[in-house]
Structure 1
Amino acid sequence: MNHTMLAAIAESAQAKLVVHNIPRPVPGTGEVLIKVQAAAVNPLDTKIAAGQAGHARQPLPAILGMDLAGTVTELGDGVDGFAPGDEVFGMAGGIGGIQGTLAEYIVVDARLIAPKPRALSMREAAALPLVFITAWEGLVDRANVRTGQQVLIHGGAGGVGHAAVQLAKARGARVYATGSATSLDFIRELGATGIDYRAQTVEDYLKRYTGGEGFDIVYDTVGGATLNASFNAVKVYTGHVLSCLGWGQHSLAPLSFRGASYSGVFTLMPLLTGKGRQHHGMILREAAAMADAGQLKVNVDQRRFGLHDVNEAFRQVSEGLGQGKTVIEMDR
């Protein structure tokens, strides 16, 4: 039996990733060994490779990659609910000193994964975990999105944004989403009202869609000035602003004068701290149920990459050239 595997390794910051043959990991207690069939490339992966993402706590050299879809091949002690041959997906590594998904095999904490949605391909399933978990942690865990609410998603055509639009819609909200003029058709296909952020001011779309009252929930997936604008877009008292990129310096005055609330979303926490991992597995089960019910589509870029194309895939993501999530397939 072959006990080695190919893996893409970031040996130092700003250097090209190199594919090496290395020993295959062995699952410990509570872990499963997964044969990776597809792994997404997220913007955070490219930032780690460039040495720019200290918050991810991933010292180099390292195998990068956070999202995967694949097949369970071996169980460690104490694992229930999975068996060899099961198709699974999850956000499983690539930060906090943990091996990433850009390898033929990976050992994963079984709490972090869930059965792959039957309705999605391996490529589609691999593109889903990080963005869906981030959408869920904001809209459901923090804001309790529900029927009858008006929800504004900033960056509705992006990775987190397109998941958030579909999640809010599935839970009964009326959804609005900002984007560039070229993205509005896609936003409408997802079931949201598209808002061209270059053509309309916050005051314009607040008046048009909420009678000037503001939105119940505003989810910022862009950061910077967009988060500042979000503070002016929520309803007085009951409004709730969420952001997965609230890392800059922002004045809370507009939010405070509305008596409204703000929540930050930091999806990496369970991987970095070991706390709350079971919750990520639960969220992915919810994602699978939505996908299998026809309520969740995944926007995957049409270009096909194998592991040996990893640097071209990273370039596509870092330069924003893809149309949807970039995914690497191990058997190409």
Structure 2
Amino acid sequence: MTATGGPEVLQLQTLPKPTIRQPGEVLIQLKGAGINPVDTKLRTRGTFYPDRSPTILGCDGAGIVDAVGEEVKNFKKGDEVYFCFGGIGGPEGNYREYAVVDHRFIAKKPKKLSFVEASAAPLVLITAWEALHDRAQIQPEHRVLIHGGAGGVGHVAIQLAKQTGAQVCTTVSSEEKGEFARSLGADHVINYRETDFVEAIMEWTDSKGVDVAFDTVGGETFAKSCGAVAMYGDLVTILQPDANMNWSTARARNLRFSLELMLTPMHQGLISALEHQTDILHCCAELFDSERLRLHLQQTFPLAEAAAAHRLLEQGGMMGKLALEVG
């Protein structure tokens, strides 16, 4: 993209093949690129680096190592990898055939996943893991509410929460999505279009509230969630709270709030945090390969049809993820 706007600003272009410039870098022949809501926001509003053009979107990628820098010891040509890096501005995104990434920020691809499935996984895995483990410090005895349990982040968050031994409740918008959430391990499902989720949570928890609520929706849902969290409980959100929000319920319940934006380490160049995110991908690869975690890919598109993928994502109502098939 060379300008912001609708999906039509995504244009197929031929650019020079990237090359390794630093001894710790890896050249990856991409086979898939994940599509995330942040991609559509950057396309519409502008990227983190508006002075760098053209922009290639796509934070997530998976592919085959094509070459390694002289200091890279943990990867070799032919290795299958996945990662979340790039895509927030400039030409380093992953809607492309080749990418160069620092070896510290890539992980071996789960063997149980295809390239395109693996490419759809990293951003949502890291987001859910950081929210539940790093922010809320989820425990086996916890009762957890996950909003949007059929969505990209939500459907992996349900599974990661269940892996800890927690009991999980989730909100969905239809019976089909409810069945999907149950298939992932959700203990209790609330159709928020038919039922007040705060009342349902209080009934589920004997009026105590959940220990942890994970908000992937924002707005009124975030504000209402304060009344569904137990005294001294945790509420984590991936969206920015409304400037006019009334915090009285949260204050009365002594809630602890956390904000989760997994792009911060990449944008700010926080190496240790990026390495931690790579460790998350290593852990999740083991979960995939032991069949304790799965990624639901609703639909794939060829690279040339990235604009069509954006249109579908912006329509809403999806289950799981979308991805581009590359090469």
| TM-score past 0.5 threshold | yes
Answer yes or no: is 1:269 the counterpart of 2:253: no
State the 1:165 CA deviation.
0.5
Contact 2:54-2:91 within 8 A present in 1 as well: no
Change (3 A) 1:111 1:252: farther
Q: Is the 8 A contact 1:202 1:232 kept in 2?
A: no
Kept in 1: contact 2:297–2:322 (CA 8 A): yes
The 1:215/1:321 distance shift into structure 2, 3 A limit, reads closer
Structure 2 equivalent of residue 330 of structure 1: 326
User: Within 2, Cα distance between the matches of 1:145 and 1:179?
Assistant: 22
Corresponding residue for residue 201 of structure 1: 196
SS at match of 1:232: helix
Matching residue of 1:4: none
Whether 1:286 aligns to 2:283 is yes
Inter-CA distance 247–260: structure 2 relative to 1 (3 Å threshold): closer
In the TM superposition, 1:51-200 aligns within 5 A as 52-53=45-46, 56-57=48-49, 59=51, 60-97=53-90, 99-182=92-175, 183-192=177-186, 193-200=188-195
Do 2:198 and 2:225's aligned partners in 1 also have CA atoms closer than 8 Å? Answer: no
Of the candidates 11, 18, 37, which is equivalent to residue 2 of structure 2? Answer: 11
CA contact (8 A) 2:155 2:181 kept: yes
Superposition deviation, residue 228 in structure 1:
0.3
Cα deviation, 1:272-309, whole Å, max 9, x if unaligned, reads 0110111111010111111111111111123x421111
| Runs of at least 5 residues in structure 1 that lack an aligned partner in the other structure | 1-9
Tell me which residue corresponds to 1:235: 230
For the residue of structure 2 that corresponds to 1:19, the secondary structure is coil
CA spacing shift, 1:157–1:323, aligned 2, 3 Å: closer
SS in 2 for 1:228: helix
Structure 1 SS opposite 2:12: strand
- Give the alignment partner of residue 309 of structure 2, picking from 292, 305, 313: 313
**What is the rounded CA distance, in whole Å, between the counterparts of 1:53 and 1:260 in structure 2?**
34
Partner residue of 2:32? 38
SS in structure 2 at match of 1:285: helix
Q: Deviation per CA, 1:40-68, whole angstroms, max 9, x where unpaired? A: 11111122122x155x4455431111111
d(CA) in 1 for partners of 2:139, 2:39: 33
Q: CA deviation at 1:96?
A: 4.6
Tell me how far apart the structure 2 counterparts of residues 323 and 63 of structure 1 sit (CA, whole Å).
25
Q: In 2 relative to 1, CA 139–108 (structure 1 residues): closer, same or farther, beyond 3 Å? A: same
**TM-score, length basis structure 1:** 0.91
Deviations 1:16-75 (A, max 9, x none): 31212211111223211100000011111122122x155x44554311111111011111
Which sections of structure 2, spanning at least 5 residues, go unmatched? none
Cα-Cα RMSD: 1.6
| Displacement after TM superposition at 1:202 (Å) | 3.7
Q: Which amino acid aligns with 2:242?
A: G
Deviation (angstroms), 1:79 = 2.0
Q: Distance in 1 between matches of 2:143 and 2:241?
A: 25
Matched, 1:48 2:77: no
Give SS of 1:71's match: strand
Paired-residue identity, %: 40
C-alpha separation in 1, matches of 2:80 and 2:132: 27
Q: How far, CA to CA, are the matches of 1:252 and 1:96 in structure 2?
A: 35
Letter paired with 1:329: E
CA contact (8 A) 1:44 1:53 kept: no
Following the alignment from structure 2 to structure 1, what is the Cα–Cα distance between the partners of residues 124 and 97? Answer: 23
Using the TM superposition, give the Cα deviation of residue 318 of structure 1 relative to its aligned residue in structure 2, in angstroms: 2.1
Contact 1:142–1:263 (8 Å) recurs in 2: yes
Q: Which residue of 1 aligns with 2:238?
A: 244
Say if 2:198 and 2:224, in contact at 8 Å, map to a contact too.
Answer: no
CA contact (8 A) 2:151 2:318 kept: no
